[in-house]
Protein backbone atom coordinates (compact mmCIF):
# COMPACT_ATOMS: atom_id res chain seq x y z
CA UNK A 1 0.00 0.00 0.00
CA UNK A 2 1.56 3.28 -1.00
CA UNK A 3 1.27 6.20 1.34
CA UNK A 4 1.22 9.63 -0.17
CA UNK A 5 3.88 11.79 1.34
CA UNK A 6 3.27 15.13 3.00
CA UNK A 7 -0.34 15.55 1.98
CA UNK A 8 -1.73 16.02 5.45
CA UNK A 9 -3.90 19.10 5.81
CA UNK A 10 -3.81 21.74 8.50
CA UNK A 11 -7.03 22.13 10.49
CA UNK A 12 -8.31 25.36 11.96
CA UNK A 13 -11.07 25.51 14.54
CA UNK A 14 -11.99 29.16 15.04
CA UNK A 15 -14.41 30.10 17.83
CA UNK A 16 -16.48 26.95 17.42
CA UNK A 17 -19.67 26.78 19.50
CA UNK A 18 -21.81 23.69 19.70
CA UNK A 19 -25.03 23.54 21.67
CA UNK A 20 -27.32 20.56 22.16
CA UNK A 21 -30.73 21.66 23.39
CA UNK A 22 -29.84 24.22 26.04
CA UNK A 23 -26.53 22.63 26.94
CA UNK A 24 -23.34 24.21 25.66
CA UNK A 25 -21.06 21.38 24.55
CA UNK A 26 -18.32 23.51 23.01
CA UNK A 27 -17.72 27.17 23.72
CA UNK A 28 -15.47 29.38 21.60
CA UNK A 29 -13.12 26.51 20.79
CA UNK A 30 -10.14 27.75 18.81
CA UNK A 31 -7.45 25.27 17.83
CA UNK A 32 -4.91 24.92 15.11
CA UNK A 33 -3.72 21.48 14.01
CA UNK A 34 -0.50 21.64 11.99
CA UNK A 35 -0.10 19.58 8.79
CA UNK A 36 1.50 16.24 9.60
CA UNK A 37 1.09 16.69 13.36
CA UNK A 38 -0.03 14.07 15.85
CA UNK A 39 -2.44 16.34 17.66
CA UNK A 40 -4.11 14.83 20.71
CA UNK A 41 -7.26 16.16 22.32
CA UNK A 42 -7.70 15.15 25.95
CA UNK A 43 -10.34 15.94 28.51
CA UNK A 44 -12.97 14.49 30.81
CA UNK A 45 -16.00 12.51 29.63
CA UNK A 46 -18.63 14.94 28.43
CA UNK A 47 -15.95 17.56 27.83
CA UNK A 48 -16.81 17.77 24.14
CA UNK A 49 -14.02 15.70 22.55
CA UNK A 50 -16.28 13.50 20.45
CA UNK A 51 -18.51 16.47 19.63
CA UNK A 52 -15.46 18.29 18.30
CA UNK A 53 -14.84 15.35 15.97
CA UNK A 54 -18.48 15.27 14.89
CA UNK A 55 -18.30 18.98 14.14
CA UNK A 56 -15.12 18.44 12.11
CA UNK A 57 -16.81 15.64 10.17
CA UNK A 58 -19.69 17.98 9.42
CA UNK A 59 -22.08 15.90 11.47
CA UNK A 60 -22.95 18.32 14.25
CA UNK A 61 -24.45 21.76 13.65
CA UNK A 62 -22.13 24.37 15.06
CA UNK A 63 -21.25 28.04 14.92
CA UNK A 64 -17.79 29.33 14.11
CA UNK A 65 -15.35 28.14 11.49
CA UNK A 66 -13.76 24.76 10.90
CA UNK A 67 -11.39 24.80 7.95
CA UNK A 68 -9.19 22.14 6.40
CA UNK A 69 -6.23 23.57 4.53
CA UNK A 70 -5.18 20.94 2.03
CA UNK A 71 -1.81 21.19 0.33
CA UNK A 72 -2.02 20.97 -3.43
CA UNK A 73 -5.10 21.25 -5.62
CA UNK A 74 -7.84 19.32 -3.94
CA UNK A 75 -8.85 17.57 -0.76
CA UNK A 76 -7.12 14.30 0.05
CA UNK A 77 -8.35 11.19 1.80
CA UNK A 78 -9.94 11.45 5.22
CA UNK A 79 -10.12 8.37 7.42
CA UNK A 80 -12.01 7.95 10.66
CA UNK A 81 -11.63 5.38 13.39
CA UNK A 82 -14.71 5.36 15.62
CA UNK A 83 -14.73 3.99 19.15
CA UNK A 84 -16.99 1.13 18.07
CA UNK A 85 -19.41 -0.04 15.39
CA UNK A 86 -22.98 -1.08 16.07
CA UNK A 87 -23.86 -4.37 14.51
CA UNK A 88 -25.47 -7.72 15.18
CA UNK A 89 -22.64 -9.84 16.63
CA UNK A 90 -24.17 -12.99 15.13
CA UNK A 91 -24.14 -11.60 11.60
CA UNK A 92 -22.29 -13.90 9.17
CA UNK A 93 -19.73 -11.26 8.37
CA UNK A 94 -16.03 -12.08 8.15
CA UNK A 95 -13.29 -9.54 8.79
CA UNK A 96 -12.68 -9.34 5.02
CA UNK A 97 -16.43 -8.90 4.42
CA UNK A 98 -16.40 -6.01 6.88
CA UNK A 99 -13.48 -4.34 5.09
CA UNK A 100 -15.16 -4.96 1.73
CA UNK A 101 -18.38 -3.30 2.94
CA UNK A 102 -16.36 -0.25 3.95
CA UNK A 103 -13.82 0.03 1.21
CA UNK A 104 -15.17 -1.25 -2.11
CA UNK A 105 -18.02 -0.48 -4.46
CA UNK A 106 -18.45 -4.05 -5.72
CA UNK A 107 -21.07 -5.76 -3.52
CA UNK A 108 -19.25 -7.31 -0.58
CA UNK A 109 -21.17 -10.58 -1.01
CA UNK A 110 -19.32 -11.10 -4.30
CA UNK A 111 -16.11 -11.32 -2.29
CA UNK A 112 -13.31 -8.93 -1.32
CA UNK A 113 -11.49 -7.01 -4.02
CA UNK A 114 -7.92 -8.21 -3.35
CA UNK A 115 -6.41 -5.29 -5.25
CA UNK A 116 -7.39 -2.98 -2.38
CA UNK A 117 -4.82 -4.55 -0.06
CA UNK A 118 -6.98 -5.85 2.77
CA UNK A 119 -4.36 -8.46 3.65
CA UNK A 120 -1.62 -5.86 3.93
CA UNK A 121 -3.74 -3.53 6.02
CA UNK A 122 -4.64 -6.39 8.36
CA UNK A 123 -0.97 -7.36 8.60
CA UNK A 124 -0.11 -3.79 9.61
CA UNK A 125 -2.44 -4.07 12.60
CA UNK A 126 -1.27 -7.56 13.56
CA UNK A 127 -4.32 -9.34 12.14
CA UNK A 128 -2.60 -11.18 9.32
CA UNK A 129 -4.36 -14.43 8.46
CA UNK A 130 -7.51 -13.50 10.37
CA UNK A 131 -9.44 -12.14 7.38
CA UNK A 132 -11.82 -15.09 7.32
CA UNK A 133 -12.71 -14.97 11.01
CA UNK A 134 -16.20 -13.82 11.91
CA UNK A 135 -16.08 -10.13 12.79
CA UNK A 136 -18.61 -10.54 15.59
CA UNK A 137 -16.50 -13.26 17.23
CA UNK A 138 -13.40 -11.06 17.59
CA UNK A 139 -12.38 -9.66 20.96
CA UNK A 140 -12.86 -5.95 21.57
CA UNK A 141 -9.15 -5.34 20.98
CA UNK A 142 -9.15 -7.29 17.70
CA UNK A 143 -12.21 -5.39 16.48
CA UNK A 144 -10.43 -2.16 17.32
CA UNK A 145 -7.45 -3.28 15.23
CA UNK A 146 -9.76 -4.00 12.29
CA UNK A 147 -11.21 -0.51 12.67
CA UNK A 148 -7.65 0.81 12.46
CA UNK A 149 -7.00 -1.36 9.38
CA UNK A 150 -10.02 0.03 7.51
CA UNK A 151 -8.64 3.52 8.03
CA UNK A 152 -5.54 2.55 6.04
CA UNK A 153 -7.56 1.78 2.88
CA UNK A 154 -6.98 3.93 0.93
CA UNK A 155 -3.87 5.54 2.46
CA UNK A 156 -5.17 8.50 4.47
CA UNK A 157 -3.94 12.08 4.40
CA UNK A 158 -5.95 12.98 7.49
CA UNK A 159 -6.88 10.40 10.09
CA UNK A 160 -9.29 11.11 12.92
CA UNK A 161 -9.01 8.71 15.83
CA UNK A 162 -11.72 8.58 18.49
CA UNK A 163 -10.19 6.85 21.53
CA UNK A 164 -8.64 4.07 19.45
CA UNK A 165 -6.70 2.53 22.36
CA UNK A 166 -9.67 1.87 24.63
CA UNK A 167 -9.88 -1.87 23.99
CA UNK A 168 -6.30 -2.53 22.90
CA UNK A 169 -4.12 -4.95 24.83
CA UNK A 170 -0.36 -4.51 25.26
CA UNK A 171 0.47 -5.96 21.84
CA UNK A 172 -2.24 -3.83 20.30
CA UNK A 173 -0.77 -0.70 21.89
CA UNK A 174 2.64 -1.52 20.37
CA UNK A 175 1.04 -1.99 16.96
CA UNK A 176 -0.82 1.29 17.34
CA UNK A 177 2.45 3.04 18.13
CA UNK A 178 4.17 1.64 15.06
CA UNK A 179 1.16 2.53 12.94
CA UNK A 180 1.26 6.08 14.23
CA UNK A 181 4.98 6.26 13.43
CA UNK A 182 4.33 5.03 9.87
CA UNK A 183 1.53 7.52 9.31
CA UNK A 184 3.62 10.37 10.69
CA UNK A 185 6.49 9.42 8.40
CA UNK A 186 4.07 9.54 5.47
CA UNK A 187 3.06 13.10 6.41
CA UNK A 188 -0.45 12.19 7.50
CA UNK A 189 -2.16 14.64 9.83
CA UNK A 190 -3.48 12.82 12.89
CA UNK A 191 -6.20 14.22 15.13
CA UNK A 192 -6.43 11.89 18.09
CA UNK A 193 -8.97 11.96 20.88
CA UNK A 194 -7.51 9.99 23.79
CA UNK A 195 -7.99 9.48 27.51
CA UNK A 196 -4.65 7.78 28.20
CA UNK A 197 -2.46 10.74 29.11
CA UNK A 198 0.73 8.66 29.37
CA UNK A 199 0.35 7.54 25.75
CA UNK A 200 -0.41 11.10 24.67
CA UNK A 201 2.70 12.35 26.41
CA UNK A 202 4.80 9.73 24.59
CA UNK A 203 3.26 9.82 21.13
CA UNK A 204 1.64 13.17 20.43
CA UNK A 205 3.46 16.18 19.04
CA UNK A 206 0.86 18.54 20.47
CA UNK A 207 -1.98 18.27 22.94
CA UNK A 208 -5.08 20.33 23.61
CA UNK A 209 -7.03 20.05 26.84
CA UNK A 210 -10.74 20.35 26.18
CA UNK A 211 -13.45 20.69 28.78
CA UNK A 212 -16.16 22.55 26.87
CA UNK A 213 -13.50 25.13 26.06
CA UNK A 214 -9.81 24.82 25.35
CA UNK A 215 -7.96 24.95 28.67
CA UNK A 216 -4.48 24.40 27.31
CA UNK A 217 -2.76 23.78 23.99
CA UNK A 218 0.90 23.05 23.38
CA UNK A 219 3.60 20.36 23.45
CA UNK A 220 2.62 17.44 25.72
CA UNK A 221 5.78 17.70 27.85
CA UNK A 222 4.86 21.25 28.82
CA UNK A 223 1.11 20.93 28.93
CA UNK A 224 0.53 17.68 30.81
CA UNK A 225 1.78 18.90 34.19
CA UNK A 226 -0.09 17.58 37.24
CA UNK A 227 -1.59 21.02 37.83
CA UNK A 228 -2.92 21.36 34.27
CA UNK A 229 -4.32 17.84 34.31
CA UNK A 230 -6.01 18.48 37.66
CA UNK A 231 -7.56 21.61 36.21
CA UNK A 232 -8.74 19.79 33.13
CA UNK A 233 -10.46 16.98 34.96
CA UNK A 234 -11.98 19.10 37.73
CA UNK A 235 -15.70 19.73 37.44
CA UNK A 236 -14.94 23.43 37.70
CA UNK A 237 -11.42 24.14 36.51
CA UNK A 238 -9.39 25.28 39.51
CA UNK A 239 -7.94 28.41 38.00
CA UNK A 240 -11.39 29.47 36.80
CA UNK A 241 -12.77 28.79 40.29
CA UNK A 242 -9.93 30.76 41.84
CA UNK A 243 -10.50 33.60 39.41
CA UNK A 244 -14.18 33.68 40.24
CA UNK A 245 -13.47 33.46 43.97
CA UNK A 246 -11.05 36.35 43.72
CA UNK A 247 -13.52 38.57 41.87
CA UNK A 248 -15.44 39.86 44.95
CA UNK A 249 -12.13 40.65 46.62
CA UNK A 250 -10.96 42.47 43.51
CA UNK A 251 -14.23 44.38 43.36
CA UNK A 252 -13.90 45.31 47.05
CA UNK A 253 -10.35 46.51 46.44
CA UNK A 254 -11.46 48.52 43.42
CA UNK A 255 -14.24 50.21 45.35
Partner 1 sequence: MSFETLRALIQGWAGAGLLPAGLTHGFLVNALLSGLVIGPVLGGLGTLVVTKRLAFFSEAVGHAALTGVAIGILVGEPYTGPYASLFGYCLLFALLVNYTRNRSNLTSDTLIGVFLSVSLALGASLLLILASRVNIHILENVLFGSVLTVDDRDLTVLLVVALGVTALMLPLFNRLLLASFNPALARVRGVPVKGLDYLFIVLVTVVTVASVKIIGAILVGALLVIPAAAARVVATSLRGFFLLSVAFASVAAVAGILLPVQLALPVPSGGAIILAAGLLFLGALLARFVTRGEEG
Task: Name the DSSP class of 106.
Answer: S
* Nearest to partner 1 of 19, 104 (CB atom): 104
Residue 90 interacts with partner 1 (CB under 8 A): yes or no? yes
Residue 230 interacts with partner 1 (CB under 8 A): yes or no? no
* Region near partner 1 per CB under 8 A, out of 11-19, 100-108, 209-217, 227-235: 100-108
Taking CB under 8 A as the criterion, the residue among 1, 85, 174, 241 binding partner 1 is: 85
Q: Report the distance separating Cα 75 and Cα 216, nearest Å.
A: 29
Q: Residue 25: name the closest of 211, 241, 235, 195 by CA.
A: 211
Residue 114 interacts with partner 1 (CB under 8 A): yes or no? no
Q: Residues 63, 49, 206, 175: is their CA dihedral positive or negative?
A: negative
Taking CB under 8 A as the criterion, the residue among 58, 129, 226, 248 binding partner 1 is: 58
Residue 100 interacts with partner 1 (CB under 8 A): yes or no? yes
* Residue 72 backbone class (left: φ over 0; alpha: ψ -120 to 50; beta: rest): left
Residue 170 interacts with partner 1 (CB under 8 A): yes or no? no
Residue 57 interacts with partner 1 (CB under 8 A): yes or no? yes
Helix 95-103 to helix 140-150 angle, to the nearest 10 degrees?
30
Residue 171 interacts with partner 1 (CB under 8 A): yes or no? no
Taking CB under 8 A as the criterion, the residue among 1, 46, 67, 87 binding partner 1 is: 87
Could you tell me which residues are beta bridge partners of residue 13? 31, 66
Q: Report the distance separating Cα 198 and Cα 196, nearest Å.
A: 6
Q: Which residues bind partner 1 (CB under 8 A)?
A: 54, 57-59, 78-80, 82, 84-88, 90-94, 97, 100-102, 104-111, 132, 134, 160
Amino acid sequence: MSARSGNGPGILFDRVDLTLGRTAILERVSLSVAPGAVHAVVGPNGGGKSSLIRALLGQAPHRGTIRLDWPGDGPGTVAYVPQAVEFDRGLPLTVEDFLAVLCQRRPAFLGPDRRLGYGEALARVGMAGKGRRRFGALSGGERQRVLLAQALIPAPDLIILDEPMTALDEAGVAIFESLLAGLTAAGTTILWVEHDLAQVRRLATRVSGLNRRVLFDGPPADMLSPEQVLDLFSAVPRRKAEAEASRPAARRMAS
